[in-house]
């Protein structure tokens, strides 16, 4: 369908050298978008460029720290000059620190907030003026089930992702009249190289305890894959979602709808 096409669009996906960001950006490329991404250092950018090239995608990579407003503004200006005005922004760059709250240093809490919440504010702020002038734009914030739920050891991450949900709603509220849609995409538990140790079969042939926990809490009875996020991400970036604004689309296999099996 034509309204799902991203032909002629420039998409910036932050932190998209690998993982979920890479999967989303690759999906956008298949839908016709020109891909721009950043990462924190040149080595990661080079690895990302090689990975995109291996997929037949001619991506444009930039070194940029999303928490540094001057770097972000310079990157956006450079992208507009070298590639074009950014039509689609995916705020994907993020970190998590799993530390019990009473043991967490304030500096560690601030670092998570800075990257996971302040970063999306800074990058969105940089791209919105050109979207306003163009009269169209899509901003997609990578939220989390922790935008809705708490869990042990993730106080900073949950605080940041809860804040990101509300930033999403506020951008929608403030800039909807300019035909800018800002929505969130909330992944569930996704099978990536980073989560592979949590899915290893144990010596006795049983599932890892955390793997058992996730399967029991998920109506789909499986982990998600990065590909599960591509269709929803394309929808939120395309004209098909032009009247969807301030929404968080959870791609979680049903976890948030489910209270769990009776023991």
pLDDT at 118: 98
User: What is the C-alpha separation between 50 and 163, in angstroms, rounded?
Assistant: 34
Catalytic choice (28, 52, 62, 157): 157
First-residue to last-residue Cα distance in the chain:
45
pLDDT, one tens digit for every residue, the chain (263 residues): 679 999 999 999 999 999 999 999 999 999 999 999 999 999 999 999 999 999 999 999 999 999 999 999 999 999 999 999 999 999 999 999 999 999 999 999 999 999 999 999 999 999 999 999 999 999 999 999 999 999 999 999 999 999 999 999 999 999 999 999 999 999 999 998 878 888 999 999 999 999 999 999 999 999 999 999 999 999 999 999 999 999 999 999 999 999 988 87
Q: Do 33 and 88 meet the contact criterion of CB atoms below 8 Å apart?
A: yes
This model's pTM is above 0.75: yes
Please count the CA atoms within 13 angstroms of the CA of 176 that sit on its side-chain side.
Answer: 14
CA dist 24 → 116, 204, 218, 261 (Å): 18, 36, 22, 32
157 noted as active-site residue: yes
pLDDT at 1: 63
- Concatenated DSSP letters of 133-145: HHT-EEEEEE--G
The two tokens of residue 43 are 């080595």
- Concatenated DSSP letters of 106-121: HHHHHHHHIIIIIHHH
Phi/psi at 150 (5° precision): -100, 165
Phi/psi at 234 (5° precision): -65, -45
Q: For 55-118, where are the alpha helices, taking DSSP H only?
A: 69-82, 106-113
pLDDT at 233: 98
């Amino acid at each position: 369908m034509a309204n799902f096409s991203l032909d002629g669009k420039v998409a910036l996906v932050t932190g998209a050298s690998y993982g979920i960001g890479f999967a989303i950006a690759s999906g956008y490329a298949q839908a016709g978008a020109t891909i721009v991404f950043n990462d924190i250092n040149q080595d990661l950018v080079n690895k990302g460029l090689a990975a995109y090239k291996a997929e037949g995608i001619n991506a444009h990579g930039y070194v940029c720290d999303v928490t540094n407003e001057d770097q972000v503004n310079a990157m956006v200006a450079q992208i507009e000059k070298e590639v074009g005005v950014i039509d689609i922004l995916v705020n994907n760059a993020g970190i998590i620190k799993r530390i019990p709250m009473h043991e967490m240093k304030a500096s560690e809490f601030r670092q998570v907030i800075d990257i996971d919440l302040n970063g999306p504010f800074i990058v969105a702020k940089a791209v919105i003026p050109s979207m306003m002038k163009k009269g169209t734009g899509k901003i997609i914030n990578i939220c989390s089930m922790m935008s809705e739920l708490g869990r042990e050891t993730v106080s900073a991450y949950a605080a940041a992702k809860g804040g990101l949900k509300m930033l999403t709603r506020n951008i929608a509220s403030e800039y909807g009249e300019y035909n800018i849609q800002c929505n969130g995409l909330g992944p569930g538990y996704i099978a990536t190289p980073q989560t592979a140790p949590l899915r290893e079969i144990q010596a006795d042939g049983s599932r890892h305890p955390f793997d058992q926990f996730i399967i029991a809490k998920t109506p789909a009875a499986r982990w998600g894959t990065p590909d599960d996020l591509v269709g929803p991400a394309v929808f939120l970036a395309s004209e098909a979602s032009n009247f969807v604004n301030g929404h968080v689309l959870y791609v979680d296999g049903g976890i948030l709808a489910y209270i769990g099996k009776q023991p």
